[in-house]
Amino acid sequence: MQPFEVFAHCPRCAHPRASPKPEMPFRCLACGLVYYFNPAPAVAAILLGPDGRALFIRRAFEPAKGKLALPGGYVDFGETAEDALRREVREEVNLEIATMEFLCTALNEYPYAGVTYRVVDLFFIARPVSLNGLAALDGVDSWCWLNPAEANLDNLAFPSVRKALELYRLRDPR
Position 18 scores a pLDDT of 83
Mean predicted confidence (pLDDT) in 48-62: 96
Please give the CATH number for the structural domain made up of 40-171: 3.90.79.10
Mean pLDDT of the chain: 94
Mean predicted confidence (pLDDT) in 116-120: 94
Position 21 scores a pLDDT of 80
Domain parsing of the chain, residue ranges = 1-37, 40-171
Mean predicted confidence (pLDDT) in 130-151: 96
Position 19 scores a pLDDT of 81
Mean predicted confidence (pLDDT) in 76-103: 98
For the chain, the DSSP string reads: --HHHH-SB-TTT-PBPSSSS--SSEE-TTT--EE--PPEEEEEEEEB-TTS-EEEEEESSSSSTT-EE-SEEEPPTT--HHHHHHHHHHHHH---EEEEEEEEEEEEEEEETTEEEEEEEEEEEEEES--TT----TTEEEEEEE-TTTS-GGGBS-HHHHHHHHHHHHH---
The confidence band for 146, taking pLDDT boundaries of 50, 70 and 90, is: very high
pLDDT at 173 over 70: no
Exposure string (b/e) for 13-41, b if CB count within 10 Å is 16 or more? eeeebeeeebeeebebeeeeeebebeeeb
